[in-house]
Amino acid sequence: MRLLLVNPNTSASITDLVVSAAREFAAPGTTIAGATGRFGARYIATRAAAAVAAHATLDAYAEHARGADVVVLACFGDPGLAGLKELAHQPVVGMAEAACYYAATLGRRFGIVTGGARWGPMLEEFVRSIGLSERLAGIKTVAPSGADIARDPERAHAMLVDASNALVEECEADSVILGGAGLARIAARIAERVSVPLIDSVGAAVKAAEALGNLGPSKARVGSFAQTPAVETVGLAAALAARMEGR
Amino acid sequence: MRLLLVNPNTSASITDLVVSAAREFAAPGTTIAGATGRFGARYIATRAAAAVAAHATLDAYAEHARGADVVVLACFGDPGLAGLKELAHQPVVGMAEAACYYAATLGRRFGIVTGGARWGPMLEEFVRSIGLSERLAGIKTVAPSGADIARDPERAHAMLVDASNALVEECEADSVILGGAGLARIAARIAERVSVPLIDSVGAAVKAAEALGNLGPSKARVGSFAQTPAVETVGLAAALAARMEGR
Amino acid sequence: MRLLLVNPNTSASITDLVVSAAREFAAPGTTIAGATGRFGARYIATRAAAAVAAHATLDAYAEHARGADVVVLACFGDPGLAGLKELAHQPVVGMAEAACYYAATLGRRFGIVTGGARWGPMLEEFVRSIGLSERLAGIKTVAPSGADIARDPERAHAMLVDASNALVEECEADSVILGGAGLARIAARIAERVSVPLIDSVGAAVKAAEALGNLGPSKARVGSFAQTPAVETVGLAAALAARMEGR
Amino acid sequence: MRLLLVNPNTSASITDLVVSAAREFAAPGTTIAGATGRFGARYIATRAAAAVAAHATLDAYAEHARGADVVVLACFGDPGLAGLKELAHQPVVGMAEAACYYAATLGRRFGIVTGGARWGPMLEEFVRSIGLSERLAGIKTVAPSGADIARDPERAHAMLVDASNALVEECEADSVILGGAGLARIAARIAERVSVPLIDSVGAAVKAAEALGNLGPSKARVGSFAQTPAVETVGLAAALAARMEGR
Amino acid sequence: MRLLLVNPNTSASITDLVVSAAREFAAPGTTIAGATGRFGARYIATRAAAAVAAHATLDAYAEHARGADVVVLACFGDPGLAGLKELAHQPVVGMAEAACYYAATLGRRFGIVTGGARWGPMLEEFVRSIGLSERLAGIKTVAPSGADIARDPERAHAMLVDASNALVEECEADSVILGGAGLARIAARIAERVSVPLIDSVGAAVKAAEALGNLGPSKARVGSFAQTPAVETVGLAAALAARMEGR
Amino acid sequence: MRLLLVNPNTSASITDLVVSAAREFAAPGTTIAGATGRFGARYIATRAAAAVAAHATLDAYAEHARGADVVVLACFGDPGLAGLKELAHQPVVGMAEAACYYAATLGRRFGIVTGGARWGPMLEEFVRSIGLSERLAGIKTVAPSGADIARDPERAHAMLVDASNALVEECEADSVILGGAGLARIAARIAERVSVPLIDSVGAAVKAAEALGNLGPSKARVGSFAQTPAVETVGLAAALAARMEGR
């Protein structure tokens, strides 16, 4: 099974990070390819950057879709998710979406820890948009950049442990998602210091994608996720234009 | 007061239509300028096209923002609204947003009539995203394109009258929004044939924009709608890049 | 355009205050008249007083309705709003209603600051009744009476600044409404000391009323806001009796 | 135990009807007195009439409160309920409130049948205001007046049976409330023809009131239902003024 | 009227406690019998124990149903409530259910105090399941066992007073339920030290049961609470098997 | 990886059916064992039977838990799910739970088709209990038993196709779950005749279980899903008693 990880952050290093983490979680026989957004923020951390990223997601998908069995929107917060599900021939899953549904099976309420203050309200809106607000215990954002984490991992780990346990103690979280490529593979390292299960959003996404690949749902033939009708476009990259124009 | 109408549909004719309709509603002293999306669908009617449009909205805003007092996102469904509110120095209002809040003052439940079948679920999600689902009676979409309407206006009017009255009779709508540039100025013409008030979404947006211009709210200095922190970007048009990078 | 401000507080001085504030916000050509409740509490601050005020609202409207183009229910909390919308021939908007919808366009969540402890739960119920609870960050009530404010404005201002900033910091408010006639015109004076936009409820109501006056929605001919059927009454003032009895 | 039934409909005949029905449901030792609204609609069937009725409820209560152990707001729809709970020294229950909570124990969803078309949306709002919307299957209103029912009871019964069974078949109601004084004592007569339990709103209210009388809850000393602080009033009847002014 | 109190806690002493408390609240002419669960936890305090208790509830009911007019599920949290309502020929009410609906009539929001930490989330889920979450102020659980309370009542009372007042001050509770057999009869003793009405869940249940007995609702003949169709079973006690198999 | 499928229906033939279907979906290396409920209904189709089944679920789990890596509650509707998650040392997933979360990734709204009329409201309550009501398009139940299906599969398939397409056309379902062991393996056979993706609940459960097995979440050490504290029990089977008593 070939998974395509679309990363609308315009940093190849983040794509490398998420692809490499994904490979650790993949089943034997699953191959992972990555596609990086061609335009927009190096690191998506604002509402405006997320809006641009939705386009970059579709653009990167159209360019790299060939040969993929399943598509993962590999940016926690899932910018462009609904449009991608409509546009893609393959099944699609978002990294935040997958992590939230997985977390919801581990208890009553889940918390989210991620980097970047604006992702707090943006993720709260995302969880509401997938109808799961009742299950959300709360969200804590931490400040350090990936570079900071690389420089002083133990300090970053301590911060994540504290944020996770705060969600447990203050908000009755029964599980906590560590969201985003930057936090991939940390869950396993700090799990013992947090009193509820920690969820690696990359791992959750890979498993959800493999389930899609194995179960092989058909594409809806009616409704707002059916194959998009051809529309005339201007100014788009050739691959995206071709797909939207039904060529 | 100078209003900038940002139309992410990449058809200058739609921009002309909405600008010209807006001028009919504008107060003396209000001037209206339009900006057309540079890339994306000629007419936004799918989830994928709406995702691209959010970027086109920011791009067109950045290019044309200078001199505007208030910005109207002049595409019913408001793609990119939150990002635009974050990015813009000026107050911003969306056409669907304005119409919904206005409609909500006219009774208990409002309905929406617009063109294009996928806008049904997309607008249902939009109304949920602004927290107003309890007030939504229902949505009816009609098929004809703007060209159809131009060719045979009476037939189109009959269809809109029927959809509006159906929302009243089946869903207890107390008012009905005719949403979108294509339906501008029709409300006044068919009002007598519908048993509840009809709302012209362009008119509602112009009045909401003028209110913003007159009341002059400050820009939030904290929170997720405050001036966006500078982020490094790639591949964006110069004006949008400059604004996102804080230059 | 002639606006009628109905103030069910039975204090002409409050009516004068709200009328005079409204004139500052009104467009050229808008004239403002006030009507004061004839019975009930001098200052509405309890559930019982609000219940009486709903009647006083209708009574004052019926007595002063002639010649008005739009009616503003000029008591923050809007007692009698639904009945007034049903009864009035003209469009009607409530001061709290207008401020909440306006605030909702300025970010994700809005807060409310007003005077009188019981207005806390009463306004929470009001916001729920208009279906906007998801958008409400929180409510803070302050103690000082209008007289207190007049005597020591700076102290009152400091209290309002603190309450507003608390809503931002504790509840993630993206904007804050200063609700009520007593707080009119204060928003402009303390805006610089609060980190999100402050909303003057009188200003929001005047702009919403002018929009109604300009857009001129028809009166619903069916549904629960249509012209009320004639009902037989007893013991009412002549003007209200005449209107309810369809004379 | 002495129950006071406050009927804000200004028709003594309706008060007599509800008092007489209540006596049939009352336990030995329970005495029932009635108080009729002094002003407002003969029969409350509009939003405006309900607004006036909230005042009439408090007025009638204040005049007749002495000696009552428990107060029943005996108008289905409960106009003025929150204000009355605040104002009264005694425990208070509304007829619609009591019937809804009782109905909720008889299954998953309850329906409501009552007279007068506007009560449909008004009761839907009432049920929402008590937080019970999830449990509401639907509401059907029937046209006939009390006089009609008296003239041709069998025809009215058939109409009520049909409306009740429609709520079962179309809306999955597990029980149906026959709401209002006009429908009192009919439930028992038509129960065999309806496939789910029928609830007499007068009976439910009497039993809820007796429960309050037996359990004797204290009056809250804090919060928005505590004894109302004294407020200065004008233009009210002496008894209501005295109570609101704390005299 | 004969009430059967089904206590799925497998401790006859708890049954004795709740029966004896119930008798204090019962009207003259009401007789109270108790039935104790035959299997499961001595004291239900976990999700697993509650799951077993739902079966024990049906089992004890089937064994002791004969002659009862009304059934009370006398374990606060009401395990097996929906199944019991389906299975029983008589009207059924749960102790938590009855207390919540009663509490909802005493103000806007009610709180719950009970023993056992896991009952916090379990009761939050219960309140959601009956559609009353909007009315729930919060839940506080206290640690002491019944034995502890017996040994040092004053210390337990102080703890309950503190928890109750905390719900008032932190969560704006307008009333507080003392939930469970172990807390029966304490409300009356500590009421003066709590600033809002305290509700004895046993008392609320007895009054709700008597209302059911007096009003005598029929059994639904359709829907998911109608008499259960006969199903083939294995391994059940004879009485329960007979009832489920329709013998 | 060893999956234990707990089937609280007390029919070994249903267990065989679900185990055999599960094996078709299982990855290489996944082994499937089944455990059948020892008491309760042969086929769970009522609220009472579901209440008993929750106990049977725990009982069967306790008897067969040894050696399992992940536990699947293999009865669509998931009776006893929360208790099992609390009690089990291993990760647990329910068949309905897994199918609903999976379905939610395939569009906006999902529908459910299953057998047995009472499962309609019971599953609606289940979906609400997992906080996913906003995503539920609707539920259709069909009448035929498994025996019927075996006798005349084409007729049963036609019925399932019709029910699925009705959910698409009437309720805007973007995907449809065929829920339950009796409907296992049918999705693949009728997929071409339904216009949206069909979900096999057994397949969804197996993939969710494998994800749990691969990701290996820890057991919460705090909260209401942590290892249950030891409680004293009576009358339980030895294995369940041992687990609940912490032996």
Token pair for E217 = 């609702």
Does B169 contact D at CB distance below 8 Å? no
The CATH number corresponding to C2-96+205-244 among 3.40.50.10470, 3.40.50.300, 3.40.50.12500, 3.40.50.720 equals 3.40.50.12500
Cα angle D168, D174, D177 (rounded to 5 degrees) comes to: 85
Q: Which of B55, C80, F154 is nearest to A40 (CA)?
A: B55
pLDDT, mean of residues F6-11: 97
- pLDDT at res. B247: 84
pLDDT band at B146 (very low <50, low <70, confident <90, very high): low
Helix (H, G, I), strand (E, B) or coil at A23: helix
- pLDDT tens-digit map of D178-202: 999 889 999 999 999 999 999 999 9
| pLDDT at position D41 over 80 | yes
The rounded distance, in Å, linking the Cα atoms of C106 and C195 is 13
The answer to whether the beta carbons of residues C67 and C86 sit under 8 Å apart is no
pLDDT band at F146 (very low <50, low <70, confident <90, very high): low
Does F52 contact E at CB distance below 8 Å? yes
Does D104 contact F at CB distance below 8 Å? no
Q: Phi-psi bin for E147: left (phi > 0), alpha (psi -120 to 50), beta? A: alpha
What is the third-level CATH fold of D97-201? Rossmann fold (3.40.50)
| pLDDT at position B6 over 90 | yes
The correct answer on CATH 3.40.50.300 for the domain covering E2-95+205-244 is no
Q: Determine the number of helices (DSSP H) and then strands (DSSP E) in chain A.
A: 10, 10
Helix (H) or strand (E) holding E166: helix E153-171
The CATH number corresponding to B2-94+205-244 among 3.90.1310.10, 3.40.50.12500, 3.40.50.300, 3.90.1580.10 equals 3.40.50.12500
Residue E98 CA: distances (Å) to CA of C19, C150, D20, D208, E208: 50, 50, 28, 11, 6
- pLDDT tens-digit map of F94-141: 999 999 999 999 999 999 999 999 999 999 999 999 999 999 999 999
Helix (H) or strand (E) holding D159: helix D153-171
| pLDDT at position E150 over 70 | no
- pLDDT tens-digit map of C38-86: 999 999 999 999 999 999 999 999 999 999 999 999 999 999 999 999 9
- pLDDT at res. A118: 94
**In the CATH scheme, what architecture does the domain F97-200 have?**
3-Layer(aba) Sandwich (3.40)
| pLDDT at position E12 over 90 | yes
- pLDDT tens-digit map of D132-173: 999 999 999 997 666 677 677 788 899 999 999 999 999 999
pLDDT, mean of residues C206-224: 97
Identify the residue with better confidence: C19 or D153. Answer: C19
- Cβ neighbors of A165 (< 8 A, separation 6 or more) are A193, A194, A195
Longest dimension (CA), chain C: 54
- What's the one-letter identity of residue D146? G
Other Cβ atoms closer than 10 A to A12: 12
| pLDDT at position E152 over 90 | no
Q: Do domains E2-95+205-244 and E97-201 have the same CATH topology?
A: yes
In the numeric block, the tokens 């919540």 are attached to E100
pLDDT, mean of residues E24-42: 97
Question: Which of B41, B56, B121 is closest, CB to CB, to A244?
Answer: B41
Angle, helices C119-129 vs C95-104, to 10°: value is 70
- pLDDT at res. D145: 63
Longest dimension (CA), chain D: 54
Residue D159 CA: distances (Å) to CA of B163, D148, D188, E220: 31, 12, 15, 20
| Cβ contacts of F169 on chain B, cutoff 8 Å | none
- Sort C126 into a burial class: Cβ within 10 Å, 0-12 / 13-18 / 19+: buried
- pLDDT at res. E90: 98
- pLDDT tens-digit map of D29-40: 999 999 999 999
The answer to whether the beta carbons of residues E86 and E220 sit under 8 Å apart is no
Cα angle E244, E247, F6 (rounded to 5 degrees) comes to: 25
Q: What is the DSSP letter of D217?
A: P
The Cα of B124 is separated from the nearest Cα of chain F by a number of Å equal to 11
In the numeric block, the tokens 């078949």 are attached to D169
Helix (H) or strand (E) holding C138: strand C136-142
pLDDT, mean of residues B176-204: 95
Number of alpha carbons in the 13 Å side-chain half-sphere of residue F102: 37
**Touching chains, C (3+ CB pairs < 8 A):** A, B, D, E
The rounded distance, in Å, linking the Cα atoms of D14 and D56 is 15
Question: Which of D48, D56, D85 is closest, CB to CB, to C58?
Answer: D48
- pLDDT tens-digit map of A30-47: 999 999 999 999 999 999
Does B210 contact C at CB distance below 8 Å? yes
Q: What is the DSSP letter of B182?
A: G
Does F223 contact A at CB distance below 8 Å? yes
Other Cβ atoms closer than 10 A to A129: 17
The rounded distance, in Å, linking the Cα atoms of E83 and F125 is 13
Q: How far is CA B123 from the centre of its chain?
A: 11
- pLDDT at res. D215: 97
In this complex, do E108 and D225 lie within 8 Å of one another by their Cβ atoms?
Answer: yes
Sheet with C198-200, side-by-side order of all strands: C136-142, C110-115, C175-178, C198-200
| Cβ contacts of D128 on chain B, cutoff 8 Å | 134
- pLDDT at res. B173: 98
Helix (H) or strand (E) holding F14: helix F12-25
In the numeric block, the tokens 């004291």 are attached to E43
- pLDDT at res. D211: 98
Does A212 contact F at CB distance below 8 Å? yes
Helix (H) or strand (E) holding D60: helix D47-64
The rounded distance, in Å, linking the Cα atoms of E190 and E198 is 8
| pLDDT at position B147 over 70 | no
Q: How far is CA D32 from the centre of its chain?
A: 15
In this complex, do E55 and F50 lie within 8 Å of one another by their Cβ atoms?
Answer: no
- pLDDT at res. E146: 60
Other Cβ atoms closer than 10 A to C53: 30
Question: Which of C85, C102, C195 is closest, CB to CB, to B220?
Answer: C195
- pLDDT string in tens for chain A (247-residue length): 999 999 999 999 999 999 999 999 999 999 999 999 999 999 999 999 999 999 999 999 999 999 999 999 999 999 999 999 999 999 999 999 999 999 999 999 999 999 999 999 999 999 999 999 999 999 999 976 666 776 777 888 999 999 999 999 999 999 999 999 889 999 999 999 999 999 999 999 999 999 999 999 999 999 999 998 899 999 999 999 999 998 8
- pLDDT at res. D151: 73
Q: Where are the domains of chain A?
A: 2-94+205-244, 97-201
- What's the one-letter identity of residue D137? A
pLDDT band at B166 (very low <50, low <70, confident <90, very high): very high
In this complex, do B232 and A52 lie within 8 Å of one another by their Cβ atoms?
Answer: no
- pLDDT at res. F33: 98
The Cα of C246 is separated from the nearest Cα of chain B by a number of Å equal to 20
Question: Which of C104, C130, C197 is closest, CB to CB, to B217?
Answer: C197
Q: Which of E65, E75, E70 is nearest to E99 (CA)?
A: E75
Q: Do chains A and D touch (3 or more CB pairs under 8 A)?
A: no
pLDDT, mean of residues D107-128: 96
In this complex, do D217 and E197 lie within 8 Å of one another by their Cβ atoms?
Answer: yes
The Cα of A149 is separated from the nearest Cα of chain F by a number of Å equal to 24
Mean residue pLDDT across chain D? 95
pLDDT, mean of residues B198-220: 98
- pLDDT at res. C146: 60
pLDDT band at C147 (very low <50, low <70, confident <90, very high): low
Does C138 contact B at CB distance below 8 Å? no
- pLDDT at res. E144: 66
- pLDDT at res. F195: 97
The rounded distance, in Å, linking the Cα atoms of D94 and D206 is 10
In this complex, do A236 and B50 lie within 8 Å of one another by their Cβ atoms?
Answer: no
| pLDDT at position E69 over 90 | yes
Does B246 contact A at CB distance below 8 Å? no
Window 184-203 of F: residues touching E by CB (8 A cutoff) are none
Other Cβ atoms closer than 10 A to C242: 13
- pLDDT at res. B155: 87
- What's the one-letter identity of residue A215? L
- Backbone angles phi and psi of C2, in degrees to 5: -105, 120
- Backbone angles phi and psi of B213, in degrees to 5: -65, -40
Q: What is the DSSP letter of D4?
A: E
